[in-house]
Amino acid sequence: MSLVVVEDLKKQYGDFAAVQGISFRVQPGEVFGFLGPNGAGKTTTMRIIAGLIRATSGRVEVGGHDVETAALAAKAITAYIPDRPFLYEKLTAFELLEFVGGLHRIGSRELAKRAEALLTRFELARWADALVEGFSHGMKQRLVFCAALLTEPRLLVVDEPMVGLDPRGARLVKSVLSERGTEGAVLLSTHTMEVAEEVCDRIAIVSRGRIAALGTMEELRERADRPGSNLEQIFLRLTEEAQAEAAEERAQRQQEPS
């Protein structure tokens, strides 16, 4: 059974179609990547899946729960990490995790155990009692990962995880994402070709609110007719094709009688 089901998802802002009929499924244990330029519709799609905004039409299920009609059940097994961390900066790192744990009704002993393990894993243990306001951007980003993983979500939705991380932090996050793919599913949006190619089992290339191509690296190479190509070359080829098809559709609509 698929952990995430997205069917004919659409999101309209006035006359602007941010998402235009996206459909895909994510299996348990899979790291599923979204790759596309700014404005392609990646973040909008991920926010709908995480239950932060509502779709104009279409259906989304997480763990068998509809994100609109069973929103609490879907959110209870989902954690969302935005591209820029938003934290209560007057709390210490441990107090922040206590706050998150309290919201999810995690017992104090279990919470302390999980928090200590996560702070250690993300190399923040020595700053457990330091105020978040004194953290660098990279430290805050790692703390957001701690808070998200504290609840042991079945689905981890991550938007641009490498923003502001130094090389050591980026390597750590890539390692954690790969590990999460064995414990639960990860839905990952990134501009970084290297990250997508390194950690994702399947990749959806998104262009102008639609999926231009979806598959494993090998399947994307075949789709682009580029054996042995790297992801950047495949991405450029497939997005150029998608843009050309969209331009042709617009031209045809303009020629149709009103």
Give every residue of the chain whose pLDDT is below 70, as ranges.
Answer: 164, 181-182, 225-230, 240-258
For residue 186, the domain's CATH number is: 3.40.50.300
Q: In the prediction, which pLDDT does 178 show?
A: 83
pLDDT at 208: 86
| Whether residues 148 and 185 fall in one domain | no
Last residue within a domain, chosen from 121, 137, 152: 152
Query: What distance in Å separates the CA atoms of residue 108 and residue 167, rounded to the nearest whole number?
Result: 34
Identify whether residues 129 and 244 lie together within a single domain: no
- In this structure, the answer to whether residues 49 and 93 fall within a common structural domain is no
Domain co-membership, 181 together with 223:
yes
Q: Are residues 50 and 139 in the same domain?
A: no
Return d(Cα 13, Cα 16) in angstroms, integer. 5
pLDDT confidence of residue 85: 77
If asked whether residues 175 and 250 sit together in one domain, one would say: yes
Residue-number span of the structural domain to which 202 is assigned: 4-77+154-255
pLDDT in tens, 29-81: 999 999 887 788 899 999 999 999 999 999 999 999 999 999 999 999 999 99
pTM for the whole thing? 0.85
212 and 103 inside one domain = no
What pLDDT does 161 receive? 78
DSSP H stretches of helix in 83-192: 93-103, 108-121, 137-150, 167-183
Residue from 77, 108, 102 nearest 88 by CA: 102
| Domain total in the chain | 2
| 170 and 108 within one domain | no
Residue that terminates a domain, selected from 152, 178, 200: 152
Whose structure tokens read 């980026």?
A: 170
**Pair (134, 220) in one structural domain:** no
Query: Do 135 and 170 sit in the same domain of this protein?
Result: no
